[in-house]
C-alpha cells in the first residue's frame, strides 16, 4: 500500500514538472509512510525517499516507516535536511505551502538556495480525497462510535449539569468506546451560546428551555469522524420546533439530492435556497460541509464558493445550521460517503428532536 501511494505521489510531482517534494504534514507522513509521530519530514525524489525525524522516535520510525531511508537528527529537522547532502544543485522541489510556517519556508529558501522551491496548495489533500473501501470502512467505524456515544450520553443529560461536565462525559465515553483520540476538542454549547457555531464548553449550567449542541469526533487508525446533534432541555417551544425541523429537513435534502458530478458549491446553494424559502436569510453562517480523512477538515470543500467536483469515494460532512444571536442555534451533522447512486450515511443516529430532563 505504501509503495503504491508513493508512486502516485511521485507521478503527481512529475506532472507538475517537479523533481520531487518535501512532505511535512502529519496526514501526509502517515498516508505515504505510515508514520504516527509528531515530528518528521520526508523528501521524495524520483529515485529515492529520505525520512527525517529526531532521536525520540528512533524505535518508532524503524517500526512504522517503509519506503524510505531514515535519518535521525536533533529536533530541528531542517538542520538535518540542510546537512544531508541529498538536495542537489538545480532540483525543483515542491513543498506544502499551507503547512510550512513562514519562518520554515524562509529557512528553506535561505539555507538551500541551490534548490528551486515550488509552493503547492492543498497538495496532499488533493491526492488523498478519494477514499479506498478500506479507508471508508475505518471512517465508518469512527462514525459509528460517535453515534454509540451519543445514544449512551443523551439519556444521562439533565438540567443543572454544566457544559464542561457534559464535555468531560463525552471525552470519557469516547475513550471507553475505543477511540484512539478525539478528532478535536468537543463543542458543547447551551442556551444562547448554542448560537455560536464553535463555542467552547464553559461552566454554564443547562437550563429548562435550552437548546444544547453536541459536536464531537472520534479518531480510529488516524481517520476522523465528525458528528453533531442538537437536543432540547425540557419541552421545546413551537419556535424551537420550527427552527429544528428546518435544519433537519435541510440535512436530509442534501443527503437525498447529492450526486457525483455536482460541485460542493452547488450542494451548498441547494441547502441555502431551501432555508431561504423557510424564511432564514443570514442565519446559516458557515459552509455545508468538509471532507474527512486523516485530517478532520479536508477535501472536498462543500461551501458557497467551492468548485470541488464531488466524486464516488469522497467522504464528507453534511452540517446545516441556523444560529439566532441571543436566542440559540441548531446544527445537525452527518458523515456520508458518496457512491455512484448517491450518498450513504455513516452516522445513522436518530435526528428527531430529543428532549433531556429539565
What is the pLDDT averaged over residues 221-228? 98
With a cut of 80, say whether residue 318 has pLDDT above it. Answer: yes
- Give the C-alpha separation, 254 to 72, whole Å: 48
C-alpha cell at 111: 539555507
Handedness of CA 36, 310, 143, 157 (dihedral sign): positive
**6 confidence band (pLDDT: 50, 70, 90):** very high
DSSP 3-state of 69: strand
- Give the C-alpha separation, 168 to 224, whole Å: 19
Residue 204 belongs to what H/E stretch?
none
With a cut of 90, say whether residue 68 has pLDDT above it. Answer: yes
Q: Provide the total of helices (H) and of strands (E) in the chain, helices listed first.
A: 10, 20
Q: Is 0.85 topped by the overall pTM?
A: yes
Cα angle 289, 167, 217 (rounded to 5 degrees) comes to 30
With a cut of 70, say whether residue 99 has pLDDT above it. Answer: yes
pLDDT tens by residue, 83-92: 888 898 999 9
With a cut of 80, say whether residue 353 has pLDDT above it. Answer: yes
Q: Which structural domains are found in the chain, ordered by start?
A: 2-128 (3.40.350.10), 133-356 (3.90.230.10)
C-alpha cell at 69: 531511508
Q: Give me the pLDDT at residue 77, please.
A: 87
What is the pLDDT averaged over residues 297-321? 98
Instruction: Identify the burial level of 220 via C-beta atoms within 10 angstroms of its C-beta, where 0-12 means exposed, 13-18 middle and 19 or more buried.
Output: buried
Q: Give me the pLDDT at residue 111, please.
A: 83
- Give the C-alpha separation, 68 to 51, whole Å: 6
Q: What whole-number percentage of the chain has pLDDT above 90?
A: 91
Mean pLDDT, all residues of the chain: 96
Strand partners, 343: 338
C-alpha cell at 326: 441571543
Q: Give me the pLDDT at residue 161, please.
A: 98
Least confident of 75-79, 152-156, 240-244, 286-290: 75-79
Q: Give me the pLDDT at residue 173, please.
A: 97
Q: Nearest-CA neighbor of 339 among 260, 262, 255? A: 260
- Give the C-alpha separation, 63 to 53, whole Å: 13
pLDDT tens by residue, 192-207: 999 999 999 999 999 9
Q: Give me the pLDDT at residue 82, please.
A: 81
For 222, 224, 275, the CA distances from 137, given in Å and listed in that order, are 13, 12, 33
With a cut of 70, say whether residue 1 has pLDDT above it. Answer: no
Q: How many angstroms separate the first and last alpha carbons of the chain? A: 52
DSSP 3-state of 289: strand
More confident residue, 77 or 336: 336
Least confident of 73-77, 156-160, 168-172, 306-310: 73-77
- Give the C-alpha separation, 91 to 87, whole Å: 7
Amino acid at each position: 500500500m505504501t509503495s503504491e501511494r508513493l508512486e502516485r505521489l511521485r507521478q503527481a510531482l512529475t506532472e507538475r514538472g517537479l523533481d520531487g517534494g518535501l512532505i511535512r504534514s502529519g496526514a501526509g507522513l502517515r498516508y505515504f509512510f505510515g508514520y504516527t509521530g509528531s515530528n518528521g519530514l520526508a523528501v521524495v525524489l524520483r529515485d529515492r525517499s529520505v525520512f527525517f525525524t529526531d532521536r525520540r522516535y528512533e524505535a518508532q520510525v524503524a517500526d512504522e516507516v517503509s519506503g524510505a531511508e531514515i535519518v535521525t537528527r536533533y529536533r530541528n529537522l531542517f538542520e538535518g535536511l540542510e546537512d544531508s547532502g541529498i538536495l542537489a544543485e538545480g532540483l525543483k522541489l515542491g513543498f506544502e505551502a499551507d503547512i510550512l510556517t513562514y519562518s520554515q519556508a524562509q529557512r528553506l529558501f535561505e539555507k538551500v538556495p541551490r534548490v528551486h522551491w515550488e509552493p503547492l496548495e492543498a497538495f496532499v489533500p488533493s491526492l488523498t480525497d478519494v477514499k479506498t473501501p478500506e479507508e471508508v470502512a475505518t471512517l465508518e467505524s469512527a462514525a459509528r462510535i460517535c453515534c454509540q456515544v451519543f445514544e449512551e450520553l443523551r439519556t444521562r443529560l439533565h438540567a443543572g449539569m454544566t457544559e464542561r461536565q457534559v464535555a468531560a462525559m463525552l471525552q470519557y465515553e469516547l475513550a471507553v468506546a475505543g477511540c484512539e483520540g478525539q478528532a478535536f476538542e468537543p463543542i458543547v454549547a447551551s442556551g444562547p451560546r448554542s448560537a455560536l457555531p464553535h463555542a467552547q464548553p464553559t461552566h454554564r449550567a443547562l437550563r429548562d428551555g435550552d437548546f444544547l449542541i453536541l459536536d464531537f469526533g472520534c479518531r480510529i487508525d488516524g481517520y476522523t469522524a465528525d458528528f453533531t446533534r442538537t437536543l432540547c432541555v425540557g419541552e421545546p417551544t413551537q419556535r424551537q420546533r420550527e427552527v429544528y425541523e428546518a435544519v433537519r429537513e435541510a440535512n436530509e435534502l442534501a443527503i437525498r439530492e447529492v450526486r457525483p458530478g455536482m460541485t460542493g458549491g452547488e450542494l451548498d446553494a441547494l441547502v441555502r435556497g431551501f432555508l431561504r424559502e423557510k424564511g432564514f436569510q443570514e442565519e446559516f453562517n458557515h459552509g455545508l460541509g468538509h471532507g474527512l480523512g486523516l485530517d478532520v477538515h479536508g477535501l472536498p470543500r462543500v461551501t458557497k464558493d467551492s468548485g470541488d467536483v464531488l466524486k464516488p469515494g469522497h467522504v464528507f460532512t453534511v452540517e446545516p445550521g441556523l444560529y439566532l444571536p441571543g436566542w440559540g442555534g441548531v446544527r445537525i451533522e452527518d458523515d456520508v460517503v458518496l457512491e455512484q447512486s448517491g450518498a450513504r450515511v455513516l452516522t445513522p443516529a436518530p435526528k428527531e428532536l430529543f428532549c433531556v430532563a429539565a
